[in-house]
């Protein structure tokens, strides 16, 4: 049984930047006065007036939508963004979200890069590219999505390069443990004393206990202490260095 003092109880939460952008976009299409655009995608009998921006986006992603129709919508959205500013920048980003989600779903998952960080990098690149667009860009949507895709690949490539060159391996069992070769109860006692002595924080002791003693994968242990996987690896490594030094000098 693990000592309860090594179980910090924190709310676990994470915010998806893409979800936040989607929520902001959909809020513009809701309410008594939804944001609309002129009918540009269909002249069919089912369309009798302006369409909400959410409905326009739904029609844009439908296979029946032509490139000319998409270009007309993008031209109008970009024209309004230049003339009026917000909320048309939010609309422009919102129109790219379905394609951005498809792009991200095809990328490899790396433990060093959390999803929120990747999404934030992608949205920042889309926003930067948006500032360079005018109403005359014929493939505005494609250009924005490609900017996001390039940003995602840059971030993942940097993480992979760091993985190859970093001295500290990210595998849970690759780093020698500084803990004494004793029974589990004795090791837990060492961790508790280290916390009381201020050598380890409670969440650091929890990470060590879960991954070193209970053999949990880091992703699960990181969630327990409300950290990203990358942060958890680094925090554990630093904590183990301090613990090893304290044990060597018999500080506690």
DSSP 106-118: TSPP-TTS-HHHH
Cis peptide before 87 (omega within 30 of 0): yes
Is pLDDT of 24 > 90?
A: yes
Query: Dihedrals φ, ψ of 36, to 5°?
Result: -130, 165
Same domain, 37 and 99: yes
pLDDT tens digits, one per residue of 96-155:
999 999 999 998 877 767 788 889 899 999 999 999 887 778 789 999 999 999 999 998
4 within domain boundaries: no
Residue 39: strand pairing partners: none
Mean pLDDT to the nearest integer, 209-216: 82
Q: Do both 114 and 178 map to the same domain?
A: no
Q: What is the mean pLDDT of residues 61-69?
A: 87
Helix pair 115-130, 17-28: axis angle to 10 deg: 50
∠ CA 169-173-179, rounded to 5°: 110
71 and 146, same domain (yes or no): yes
**Residues 92, 107 contacting (CB under 8 angstroms):** no
| Model pTM score | 0.60
Distance separating alpha carbons of residues 64 and 41, to the nearest angstrom: 10
Whole-angstrom Cα distance, residue 58 to residue 98? 9
Same domain, 209 and 175: yes
Which of 118, 150, 165 lies at the terminal end of a domain, its last residue? Answer: 165
Total structural domains in the chain?
Answer: 2
Tell me the two tokens of residue 198.
């201020």
Residues 26 and 137 in one domain: yes
Write out the two tokens for 139. 């493939």
Q: For residue 69, give the nearest of 90, 89, 51, 93 by alpha carbon.
A: 51
Q: How far is CA 3 from CA 7, 12, 201, 202, 223, in A?
A: 8, 21, 15, 12, 19
Q: Taking residues 77-98, report their average pLDDT.
A: 94
219 shares its domain with 118: no
Range of the domain at 152: 17-165
Q: Which residue has the higher pLDDT, 99 or 167?
A: 99
pLDDT given for residue 229 in this prediction: 76
Residue 17 token pair: 């930047």
Same domain, 176 and 208: yes
- Secondary structure tally for the chain: helices H, strands E: 10, 2
Assess whether pLDDT exceeds 80 at residue 5. Answer: no
Q: Which of 130, 165, 200 is the last residue of a domain?
A: 165
Residue 53 lies in a domain: yes
pLDDT band at 47 (very low <50, low <70, confident <90, very high): low
Nearest Cα neighbor of 213 from 247, 246, 236 is 236
Residue 41 lies in a domain: yes
| Residue range 193-204, pLDDT digits in tens | 899 989 999 999
Residue 83 within any structural domain of the chain: yes
For the cut 70, the answer to whether the pLDDT of residue 167 exceeds it is: no
In the structure encoding, which two tokens stand for residue 72, read together? Answer: 């007309």
Please say if the pLDDT value at position 157 is more than 60. Answer: yes
């Amino acid at each position: 049984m693990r000592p309860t003092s090594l179980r910090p109880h924190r709310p676990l939460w994470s915010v998806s930047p893409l979800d936040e952008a989607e929520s902001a976009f959909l809020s513009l299409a809701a309410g008594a006065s939804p944001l609309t655009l002129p009918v540009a995608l269909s002249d069919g009998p089912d369309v009798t007036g302006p369409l909400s921006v959410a409905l326009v986006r739904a029609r844009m992603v439908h296979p029946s939508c032509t490139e000319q129709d998409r270009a007309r919508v993008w031209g109008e959205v970009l024209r309004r963004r230049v003339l009026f500013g917000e909320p048309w920048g939010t609309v422009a980003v919102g129109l790219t979200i379905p394609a951005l989600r498809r792009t991200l779903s095809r990328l490899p998952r790396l433990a060093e890069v959390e999803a929120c960080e990747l999404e934030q990098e992608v949205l920042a690149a889309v926003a930067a590219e948006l500032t360079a667009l005018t109403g005359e860009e014929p493939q505005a949507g494609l250009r924005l999505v490609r900017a996001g895709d390039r940003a995602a690949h840059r971030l993942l490539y940097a993480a992979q390069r760091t993985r190859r060159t970093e001295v500290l391996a990210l595998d849970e069992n690759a780093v020698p443990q500084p803990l004494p070769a004793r029974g589990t109860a004795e090791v837990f006692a060492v961790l508790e004393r280290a916390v009381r002595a201020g050598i380890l924080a409670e969440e650091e002791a929890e990470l060590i206990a879960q991954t070193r003693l209970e053999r949990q994968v880091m992703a699960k242990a990181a969630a327990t202490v409300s950290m990203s996987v990358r942060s958890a690896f680094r925090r554990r490594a630093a904590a183990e260095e301090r613990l090893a030094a304290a044990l060597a000098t018999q500080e506690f």
